[in-house]
Structures are given as C-alpha cells and as structure tokens.
Amino acid sequence: MNFIHRSILFSAVERYISVFLFLFSTAALARLLSPGEFGISAVVGALIAVTAASFQEFGGSNYLIQKASLSEANIRTAFTITLCLSCTVAILLFTVRTPLADVFGQKSVAPALAVAALNFISLPFTGTMSALLRREMQFGKLAIANLCCNFATAVVSVSLAIAHYSFMAPIWGTVAGSFCLAFSLILLRKDLRSFRLCFADSLEVLRFGVYSSGVMIINVFYNWAPQLFLARILDFAAVGLYGRAISITQVFDKLVVQVLGPVIMPALCARTREGGELRRIYLDAISLLSGIQWPFLLFLAIMARPIVSVWLGPMWMETIPLIRILCTAYVALFAACLTYPTLVVLGGIRDALISSFISLPPSLLVMFFSSFFGVEALAASTLITLPFQAATAFYFISRRLNVKPSALFRATKKSMIVTTLSSICTLLVAISIEQGFVGSVMGLIFAALLAGTSWWLGLVLTKHPLLPRMSAAAESVGISVPRPFLVRQI
C-alpha cells in the first residue's frame, strides 16, 4: 500500500498549498469585489462548468483510468473526441453569449462568457494528461502542474481585481490558470504522441461517455443550479452570498476530498485487480471519512461568525446562517466521494446514472421553489435534499456490495462519538466569543486547538481506525510516529 500512501501524500501537499492560495485569494477578492460582482463571476462559472460537463466525459479521465488495457490508439481517440467536442461547444457558447446574458438580465454576462470560453481550448490537453498521470500514479508531477495552475489563477485574479477589472478579474484568472496547467502537464509528461488525431475504437469511447457524461452533467448542474436560480429569481448579490457560503462549506472538500479524489478510483481499480474485497474497503473508507468530515463540518457551523468576520470581512456577515445550514446538511454526504468510483469499479456505471436521475431532479425542484422565498430558504432546502441523495446512492451501493444499514451504523458509530466530543468543546468556545470573553481571532485559534485536542482524544478513547491508518501512512513515507499504549494498532 506504500504507493497509495505516497500518492495521497503528493496529492495532500499540492492540495494544502492550493488551499492556502484559495484562502488568500478569497480573502483578497472578498474585500475587492462586492457580492453583486462576485455573483456575476459565479454565474459565468456555473455556465462554464455545466457546459464542460456535457462533453468532457466522452474520452475523459474516467474512461482512460478505468480501462484495463490502454493502448496509444485509445488515448489518441479519447483526446480527438474531446478536442472536437470542446471546440464545437466553445464556438456555440461564444455565439449564444448575448441571448444568455439577456436571460439573466445582466449585459455584463456576455463579455464574461466570451472570455471564459477560452477555457475550452486547453481542456482536451489538461484532461488527457491529468488522466494519464493519475492512471500511472504519478501524483508528484500532477501536484507540480496543479500548483502552477492555482498560483497563476490566484495571482492574476487578485492583480486584476486591484486594477479594477471587477467581475472579470476571477474569470481572467481562471483562464490563465487553465493555460498554465496545460503547458505544465505537457512539459512534465513530455509525450506529444497522445495529441495526434485518431478515431479508432470511437464507439467504445462514446458508449462509456454516454453514461459517464450523464452522471457528470446532472451532478454538475445540480451543484451550480442554486446560483443560476438565484440570479434569475432574485439578484446577483444573492448569488454572491450563496456562493461564498458554499465556498466555506466546501473547505473540507478542498482539504480532504480533493486530496483523496484523484487517488480513489486508481486505488480501487488497483486493489480490485489484486483481489481485494471491495465491501470491506468501502466500509473502512466510510469509517475514516466520517471521522474527519463530521467534526470538521460542525466546527465550521458552530464557528461561522468568527470565521466570516476574520476571513471575509463585515460585507459578508449575511452568509453566517447560510453556512450553518449548509454545513449541517453536508454531514449527510460523508460517503459521496466513494459512490461513483465504487460503482464504476463494480461495472455499475449505469447504476450511477440511474441513481442521479432518481435523486437529483426532485432535489432541483425543491431548490427551485424554495429560491422564491429567499437565499436562506434555498439553503434550508438542502436539509431535505442532501439526505435524500445520500440514501439513494447508498441503496445502489448496498445492492452491489450487500451492505446493510446496520453495517453502515457500525462503521460510523465511533465517528459519532468523536464528533460529539469535538463539537461540545467547540460550542463552549463559541459561547465565550458571543459573550465577549474572547475576540474572534483568539477565539478561532483557541477553538481549533481545543477541538483538535478533543478530536484526538475521541479517536484514542474509541480506538478509531483512523489512528493506525494515520500512523501507517506517516511511516510509509519515512516519518516515525511514537505510539503510546493508547494509540496502538487495531
């Protein structure tokens, strides 16, 4: 398992440096852009994300990673199909930019879409190279390329915002980052043969892409739909507030899920080829993820006021109730990052699509109607929709892995105890801040230390499986971990 631990390490180093850049750029842009300006860039980002999702899985990363025997012709065909679709979509998006701007009643959306369409030029190159590096478990090279991308995005976005480029600053920053990523990947992999056009085995690529793109489209549209609903029904300031609340809520994803995400599918494929029992792997992963995610999300929910005050500033205080609601709802998604990779490895890509069609359209309907009652009502709707999505995904997983709800409870009961202990300590500090006994900055520091200590104590008292995994991961990369008698292998 050393190669998986090293892969996670490289992914973690890249992700945590990227998170630092994200924190810096978010804090800077929060003070340079108004909620309305940020809302315009968020809507454009939503349109680009949904558009990209409509085709990038035709020959995309998941096809290249999951294929048991991958030839050069397969790679070239996947790249060719992605390139053709990407160019077509970019031209169409540029052509309809004005009508789309009219839909949202904001003329500024048109030039922003014209610039954002440039992202599609680099997409076929970055998608192909990233997938091949992930398949080869070359996460060191991938980390370098991603860091170059994130650094370019942050520097360009903040610099242009200072130069009064308004909502165009983060859009130009994203374009700069995508081109930087493409050049970095090409230089690091040093293999231009993959970019030669080829149409061999096109039907196989397209067949996989139909199901995989279906899953991607509906999930990406669901993720960005709230911003689109708010822009059309309310205003761009509401979009900005909701977007910032989502950004804080998804810090866990940036710190953990996006570290593990690139590794999960290649690792599952490798373990399955080695004869590993996927049911046990799935339950172990749930136990580990819930032990990290639940305490983290509840920490964000409880400490939302000082976090917003210190990080974003007084202009964004209206996001506090949104953050608390969203963090509570996101607790239900502790196994979400495992669903798609597990179903693909099991040969259930069709089940992944059916699951999305069962859970997401009703969720979108609930969110659409709730948006008429304001941004807080929209956030509150996730308390219904996210548990429903989690239950639907678990149903399809349980059918293939024979995992019953009782097994799910056993896998997470220790995490429940750890979360309770950590949250109680965090709540005591939050009350002290509200009563004025301690300031926001010192309160955050004290809360983080106390929550971290109580979290570790909870792991030790419950003999949580995280402890031996953390020790093993550290030792696999040459870090010696002292083991007191309480922190022993389980």
CA 9 centroid distance within chain:
18
The token pair that represents 347 in the structure block:
């040969």
Q: Which of 255, 230, 387, 233 is nearest to 322 (CA)?
A: 230
Residue ranges per structural domain of the chain: 1-233
Give the residue ranges of DSSP H helices in 190-319. Answer: 202-233, 236-249, 251-252, 258-273, 278-302, 304-311
Handedness of CA 388, 389, 394, 399 (dihedral sign): positive
Phi then psi dihedrals of residue 264, to 5 deg:
-60, -55
Distance CA 323, CA 490 (A): 36
Residue 403, by phi and psi: left (phi above 0), alpha (psi -120 to 50) or beta? beta
Q: What is the dihedral of CA 188, 194, 197, 203, to 10 degrees?
A: -130
User: Residue 229 CB: number of other CB atoms within 10 A?
Assistant: 22
End-to-end CA distance of the chain: 17
pLDDT in tens, the chain (490 residues): 455 556 666 666 777 788 788 888 988 998 898 888 888 988 898 888 878 776 666 655 666 766 667 777 878 888 888 888 888 889 998 999 999 888 888 888 899 999 999 999 888 888 888 888 877 777 778 888 988 999 999 999 999 999 999 999 999 999 999 999 999 998 888 777 778 887 777 777 666 666 666 677 777 778 878 888 888 888 888 888 998 899 888 887 777 666 665 555 555 655 655 555 778 888 888 888 899 899 999 999 999 999 999 988 888 899 999 999 999 999 998 888 888 778 877 777 788 888 888 998 899 999 999 999 999 999 999 999 999 999 999 999 888 888 888 988 999 999 999 999 999 999 999 999 988 888 889 999 999 999 999 999 999 999 998 888 776 655 655 555 555 444 443 3
The string of pLDDT tens digits covering residues 27-73 is 899 889 888 888 898 889 888 887 877 666 665 566 676 666 777 78
Q: Which residues contact 6 (CB under 8 A, 6 or more apart)?
A: 139, 476, 477
Backbone angles phi, psi at 163, to 5 degrees: -85, 10
Residues 6+ apart with CB under 8 A from 468: 488, 489, 490
Q: How many Å apart are CA 258 and CA 393, to the nearest integer?
A: 20
Gap between the Cα atoms of 306 and 429, Å rounded = 11
CB 38 within 8 A of CB 29: yes
Residue-wise over 26-54: b if at least 16 C-beta within 10 A, else e?
Answer: bebbbebbebbbbbbbbbbbbbbebbbbb
Sign of CA pseudo-dihedral 69, 75, 77, 78: positive
Q: What share of the chain is helix, strand, coil (3-state, %, to 5)?
A: 85, 0, 15
pLDDT tens profile 191-217: 777 788 877 777 776 666 666 666 777
Between CA 223 and CA 218, with CA 212 as vertex, the angle to 5 degrees is 25
Note the helical H segments in 117-201. Answer: 119-135, 139-162, 168-189
At 274, is the secondary structure helix, strand, or coil? coil
